[in-house]
Amino acid sequence: MNFDNSHFDEDCERCSPLRRHAKVEAHISLDALRRNLRQIRSITPQARICCVVKADAYGHGAPMVCRALQQEGIKDFAVSGIAEAQEVRLALQSDMEQILILGYTLPDDLDLLFHYHITQTVFSLEYALALSARIQQMKEEGLLPMTAALPIHIKVDTGMNRLGFMTDDVDGITRVCKLPGLSASGIFTHFAMSDEPQSPMTQAQFDAFIRLTEQLQARGIHFACRHVCNSAAIANFPTMHLDMVRLGISLYGLKPSAQTAMPPLVPVMTVKTIISHIHTVPAGQSVSYGATFRAEHDMRVATVPIGYADGYVRAYARDGYMTVCGKRAKIVGRICMDQCMLDVTEIPQAVVGTSVIVFGQTDPTADTLAQWSDTINYEVTCIIGKRVPRYYDVPDTTCV
């Protein structure tokens, strides 16, 4: 791999020595991101799209991803907490977009919610009362104008049993919508099994959600934005799109499940490294910690500088391989914190400095790595470590 660091600015604090001398790189294709967004738009033309950019945009780098989506006309973003919301707002450099926090924010951080124009999820009466009380206190202390109101979305628990009002708690939600200092503009739920289109659970959750909203409407409570669909439900349950859908994993070019029929998507992240060392391991010698692998014959073994500290976890070693010169090079021995070893016996053209594909748009993919470790593709991209710099297909933006 040719590591061209000429774009780095020595005065840029983001261009740290760790990044300047990176041995592993995550290449992020914003062009693929845009194409994936357009594909999803083609199957949900009526609903707004809220792009889920929590966990640093699933490991892809939230600031650059958000700016690219903003250029595509996206007006709604979802994050996990206040720190992520701040980062997204600063990246957008605009107060016009809605940023929805899906999780919990401390009442003591209300000043940040107002300052950065953030919409907060409310999932219980107790939490709503705490927010309302703190807002009233801030008004009395002169920290907020008397007319200030925090925009909120009501979270309903229709079966996840994680966060949210129960579907029979009409009284509790009604009370929240009348509390001073809160402005309920949206209501939503989250599906537990929408990636399994044959499961009856999604329809049951949706029906419970609709019954609740109808009961609230009968009390004169209306919401401008109702949303229930994640990436899987966008594809599997098109009649449930309502006012807005939440686009997460499919935005990054990955399918939520093998059973979900998505339009053509392109993986956005490709992780690359290089061969740092090649040597011969004689027959009978072991490789790596625990001597779990022993060479049956003389082998040509390459060391690559990526390990579990970079998000390349030990579980990948069981079935794992990387692509070297267009061929599969199997992992031998245990994956170390910063390095692992590959069998390149049958790849004679592999030398020190040769580029190695860890995963990406071609073999192996994030889905492949997920299969090796009995997990999901979400986790594969999310855990790529911070010491792996993200490089973008945009001029002059690679030091991010």
Same domain, 245 and 164: yes
Is 183 domain-assigned? Answer: yes
Q: What is the pLDDT of residue 396?
A: 53
Q: Judge whether 139 counts as a catalytic residue.
A: no
**Which position has the token pair 């609903």?**
47
Rounded Cα distance between 66 and 58, Å, is: 12
CATH number, domain of 54, equals 3.20.20.10
- Look at the alpha carbons of 392, 395, 397, 398 in this order and tell me if their dihedral is positive or negative: positive
Our separate counts of H helices and E strands in the chain read 12, 20
**Which position has the token pair 């400095």?**
353
Same domain, 280 and 234: no
Q: How far apart are the first and last CA of the chain?
A: 20
Q: Exactly one of 178, 289, 327, 386 is catalytic; which is it? A: 289
Same domain, 81 and 170: yes
Q: Judge whether 23 counts as a catalytic residue.
A: no
CATH number, domain of 340, equals 2.40.37.10
Smallest Cα–Cα separation from 25: which of 266, 268, 270? 270
Q: What is the pLDDT of residue 6?
A: 42
Q: Exactly one of 54, 155, 255, 272 is catalytic; which is it? A: 54
What average pLDDT score do residues 137-144 get?
Answer: 97
Is 377 domain-assigned? Answer: yes
Same domain, 330 and 198: no
Same domain, 130 and 238: yes
User: Of the ranges 22-26, 58-62, 229-233, which one carries the lowest mean pLDDT score?
Assistant: 22-26
Q: What is the pTM of this model?
A: 0.92
Counting Cβ atoms within 10 Å, is residue 352 exposed (0-12), middle (13-18) or buried (19+)?
A: exposed
Question: For 224, which DSSP code?
Answer: S
**Which position has the token pair 């060391």?**
303
Smallest Cα–Cα separation from 176: which of 109, 223, 244? 223
Domain residues for the domain of 153 are 30-252
Same domain, 298 and 375: yes
E strand or H helix at 281, and its extent? strand 277-281
Using pLDDT thresholds of 50, 70 and 90, give the confidence band for residue 12.
very low
Same domain, 225 and 282: no
Is 24 domain-assigned? Answer: no
Q: What is the pLDDT of residue 22?
A: 72
Question: For 109, which DSSP code?
Answer: G
The Cα diameter of the chain in Å comes to 79
Same domain, 137 and 35: yes
